[in-house]
Structures are given as structure tokens and as C-alpha cells.
Amino acid sequence: MQAGLNYELKVVRKTDLGYMLSDSKDEVLLHFGDVKKAADGSDLEINSIVKAFIYYDKKGRLAATTKDVEITIEKPGFARVVEVISNLGVFVNINTGKDVLISKDYLPYDLAKWPIVGDRILIGLKCKKDALVGKLLNSYEVEDLNTKMEYEMESMVLASVIRVGEAGLNLVTYDFVNVFVHKSMYRKQYRVGQEVVVRIVHKGEKGYNGSLIQNKEKMIDPDKELILEYLKANNGKIRLDAKSSSEEIEALLHISRKAFKRALGGLYKEKVVDFKDGWTILIRK
């Protein structure tokens, strides 16, 4: 039996500590505290088959639990942070007798960006010697989950922060969908694991873009809003204009050149921006 996986196991006998389960080759102990209580309060029956998750207990021994464990080494998921130790990392609960460590090596250098107790973080499990440990999933690994969930523009979606970068925030929704929020589209500091309600404002080839700024009474085109918010956050100037390349535009704003030119043209016609020497300049707030 391998830690981190669910098995169908037979209850072979009861001991002073719990039940011994078998896969016909090996046996593993199911502690009384790891038994999922039956609705009628009855004990496990000898020779019955139970679904059990295998993990390493606090002494590094294989153990079993019949409680519901949704995260396995084959299936990532969201886990609740239960303890933070600055020189070690954070511990999450996956519903076993031992919490799982997410090493500080997987967390931001800045402790202010670490998850706090109560946050939910998206993790994958792996075996390391005689322990189950976790790692944060990145946006590329989220893409591999390929849930194909679609969101309508302007919809409000619950999500969790998985990365705080220089360009903005990478979020993942509870449907395992990536959403990028440019730094011009939020007003405060965020941390990994923080739950947010993100407004979906754009969908491009690389996924969804969102905003954490509250809706204004009068809505404007989301691409215009993205450009305006970036201008306001950068002293009213942006080193892009209608002649800028797709690569330059996508690197800075994460939208297509076509969408950028359309929105920029609208702002120019409304006399909100002007152009000078390759720069777009905010002339009316």
C-alpha cells in the first residue's frame, strides 16, 4: 500500500488500538480516532470492505483513515491552513490524524504574503521518506486539470490567490480555473491563500482576466477600464500606443492587441487619453 491513495480494504480484526485492514498482502492499522462514524453509531464489521485513505502517522508509520479525504497524490485540492511556523512553513488539514506541511521553500520570501490560519490553499500531495507533504500548485498545473468551466463576462466568482507577482495576482477559482488580475485592477495588498470575489472582465487566449475593484455605478468597457486603471496607477502614462506589438501589450496588460486598439481608440475619441512619442497619456480622469 502507498501513502497518499485511497484503497478498498477488508476489516480483518479488532485490536486495542483500532482495526487491522488488509489488501490481502499487507495490513495497516485504522486507529479508532480515524474511523468515520456510521449513521447508526455501529462498529465496523469484521470481513466488511471499507474505503480507506493511507497516510503516515506522527511516528512515520503507515496508517489508515475511513474519514473522507478529498486530496490524494493523484488529485490536487484545496486544504485549510491550521498552523503557520515562520522558519518551517504552513500546515494544512486534509482530514487525517497528521497535518500536512507545505515547506517555506514553496512560499513567498515575504512573510506578509504567506497564508494565515483559516485560508484555503490549492495543493498537491507527494510522499517524502516517511511523511506526506504538500506543495502549492502553480497556474500551469491548474491548466493541466482542464475543467473547461466557462464564465460570463462581469460575473462574480469566488477564488483563492495562488501567487502574488510583480505584474499582479494569479487566482484559481474553486472550479480550478485560472484568473489573472493585473496590479492596476486592485487597491490593497493580498496574500497567498486569501479568498476573494473576482469580477471576470476579459477572456483571451491565455485565460481569464479579472478585477478586484468594485463596480462603478456606470459601467464602462472592461478593456477601457483596464487601461484607465493602469494609467491611474502609473502616474497617468503607459509606454504603449496603437503601434505597439502584441508581445508588448500582452506582457504589460495581458490582453490582445486587437482588444487594446479598440479600447484605446474609444478612449481617444472620448478625449480621455492622448499620444506622445510612443506613450499613451491620461488627459482626463
Task: Give the per-residue pLDDT at 269.
Answer: 86
Task: Give the per-residue pLDDT at 215.
Answer: 58
Q: For residue 39, what are the contacts with CB-CB under 8 A and spacing of at least 6?
A: none
Whole-number Å distance between alpha carbons of 90 and 281: 44
Task: Give the per-residue pLDDT at 196.
Answer: 93
Which residue from 204, 225, 208, 203 is spatially nearest to 216, judged by alpha carbons?
Answer: 225
For the chain, list residues with pLDDT below 50. 216-219
Task: Give the per-residue pLDDT at 168.
Answer: 93
Task: Give the per-residue pLDDT at 284.
Answer: 73
Residue 244 in contact with residue 279, Cβ under 8 Å? no
Task: Give the per-residue pLDDT at 220.
Answer: 54
Phi, psi of 18 (to 5 degrees): 170, -140
Tell me which residue has cell 502507498.
Answer: 2
Which residues on neighbouring strands pair with residue 89, listed in sequence order? 85, 103
Q: State which amino acid sits at residue 5.
A: L
Read off the C-alpha cell for 181.
488580475
Task: Give the per-residue pLDDT at 54.
Answer: 96
Q: Which domains does the chain have, with CATH numbers?
A: 6-65 (2.40.50.140), 77-137 (2.40.50.140), 148-211 (2.40.50.140), 222-282 (1.10.10.10)
Tell me which residue has cell 488500538.
Answer: 17
